[in-house]
Structure formats: C-alpha cells, structure tokens
Chains A and B, each alone.
Chain A
Amino acid sequence: MTEVEATVDPTISPALRAEALESLLLERGLIDTKTIETFIRTYETAVGPMNGAKVVAKAWTDPEYKQHLLADGTAAIAALGFKGPQGEHMVVLENTPDVHHVVVCTLCSCYPWPVLGLPPSWYKDPAYRARVVKEPRAVLAEWGTELDPGVEVRVMDSSSEVRYLVLPERPAGTESMSEEELAALVTRDSMVGVTKVLAP
C-alpha cells in the first residue's frame, strides 16, 4: 500500500488517473473499450432493484418458490434469470411481524448486484456502516421504520462469503394484487431492510 501511496499526487484528479489507467491498459491489450462500456451500461440501465422486486413478488404469490428461495437463495434467484458477479452465495432473510432483518457490509459494500444493482451511496457511507450495527433501531427510525419494542432486530453483515437479500413482509390489503402489481410496490430500501413495503 505504501508503495503506491508514495507516488500518488493528490493534485491529479481521479478522472485523469482513471483515464490514464485506461489508456495504459488498452496499450497493453489487457482490456477493450467495448467490454468496459458494456459493464457500465449494464449496471446503469439494466441491472437493478426491479430484479429483486420480481423475486420478492414471486415469493409472495408462490409458496413453493418462497420455500426454494429461503432454502437456496442463489439457485432460486438464478432460476428467474438473475445471475452474474456478486450474485453468488445469496441468502434470503424473511422479515416477519416478530423479526426484522436489516443488511449492512461493515467492511466495504458487499451487495447482491444481480438483484439490487450497484449499492446506493448511503449503503457505502461510513456513517451507515458503523451506526446500523451500534444503534439499528435509531437508524431504522430515521428511515421512518418504527418497530414495536417486541420486534427482534437482526443486523446482518454481508461479505464475499454471503450476500443477504431481505424478503420484506407483504403489506396487508394487497391480497387481490397480481404478481406484477406487487413487484411495482417493492422498493430497493425494503430489500436492504431499512424500510418496509407499504400498501398502495
């Protein structure tokens, strides 16, 4: 680490450094521009929380799928076509009236990309990562998630060995809604566990 730090000129912006790195890697034939741009475009436009919302809506409406999802998250999610980097070792946690899970990555920002996309800045922020472990109820309250004192709160630390996705509670009053309509209700934040899914 020190070797690189010693040569970092803080006056050179990250934009220039990224551009310089890309040009050197291109010259060495280690990358090609098309692959880089495909990755950027994919995560900017195609992979995101709408994938996880479909998983949740299916689990809400198909008991057999839900059982599969809770038993083997990686396989059940892949069965809907959602796979790729950071989609291995998925564990799905069911929120119930008695237990509320909330997910963090205390070391960096491990996050289930295929179902949620890239993490939002608050998830990566040192304040969230430190505080949700120490005072989860206070953090949840700031998100507007007021939990009954009787509800057990479990803070789950994602890592490269296990990446968590929360299966939020299906809100009351949605019994007549279709799977597609339900998917539209499911938010990214509810699948991280900082909020609940609200009825329309």
Chain B
Amino acid sequence: MTTATLPLDVEGPAAPPRANGELVFAEPWEGRAFGLTMALADRGVLSYDAFREVLIARIAAWEADHPVGECFSYYRCWLQALEQVLASEDLVPAEELVARSAAFAARPAGHDHEHEHDHGHDHGHDHDH
C-alpha cells in the first residue's frame, strides 16, 4: 500500500475518471480529506480498515439522525471519521483542531477559503492545479 504500487497509466488511450461527467471531488477540501487519509495510511500512521469502521459508524449515524433538509455528504462523514480516529489515537486532540480551525476562520477575508489558492501558507505547496 504505497504510492509506488499505484498504476500511473496516464498515457493510455482511455478517458480519465471524470469522463462520466462528474468530478472525482466536488470541492477541493474533499480531495484534501481524501489525500490526508491516504497519506497517513500509506505511512502507517493509521490503518485504513480501522478508519473505515469509523466511517461506517459516521454514515450510519447521519442516516439515523440529521438536520431536516441536510443533504448527505460522503466526504463530510469521511472528514469527521478522520478527525475522530486522530483524536482517539491522541495524534490530533479535538480541542487543538477546533482552536486551529477557529484561528483560520478569523483570518482576514480572502484568506479563509480555497486552500489551493491560498498563498499565505508556510508549508510550500506545489501550485500546479
């Protein structure tokens, strides 16, 4: 389960995954949540199977009870499951995540959205999107 074993068949004649008319990730944060999880699993920080168990529980909890009119969001459940696994393993305590999220929310306008377009970061993204 390493990136090296992933087939990178970009040369093939067939269409990319979005050929059926749907983007793989509807919003950039969905891709980040997915990429974070896979990177952590790849490094052995978390087990994908253990994560999946929590994801199943999150989805079931949403189906059992959710605000009237709220649409199902698979990646919202995914992100909550990831937060829960990291908190329960004491890797990222919940309070710390809330504090950091709040700090980001308090940034001046123009700095609180679109991760990929945020140039104010100090952790050096490859801006090739």
Contacts and interface: CB of A to CB of B under 8 A. Distances in A.
Contacts of B119: none
A33 B126 contact: yes
A21 B36 contact: yes
Nearest to A82: B7
B94 A118 contact: no
Dominant secondary structure of chain B at its interface with chain A: helix
A118 B17 contact: yes
Contacts, number: 226
B19 A49 contact: yes
A194 B88 CA distance: 39
A49 B83 CA distance: 30
A76 B104 CA distance: 48
Contacts of A26: 123
A149 B13 CA distance: 38
Interface residues of A, number: 69
A122 to B, nearest CB: 9
Given A7-B94, A14-B33, A117-B24, A39 B39 contact: yes
A160 B32 contact: no
A138 interface: no
Interface string A22-40: 1111101011111111111
Given A8-B98, A44-B18, A189-B20, 4 more contacts: A43-B24, A48-B17, A110-B52, A120-B22
Interface of B: 1, 3, 5-10, 12-20, 22, 24-29, 31-36, 38-43, 45, 48-49, 52, 54-61, 63, 72-76, 79-80, 82-84, 86-88, 91-92, 94-98, 100-105, 112-115, 123-126
Interface of A: 1, 3-4, 7-9, 12-26, 28, 30-40, 42-51, 53-54, 81-85, 107-110, 114, 117-118, 120-121, 124-126, 160, 180, 183-184, 187-189
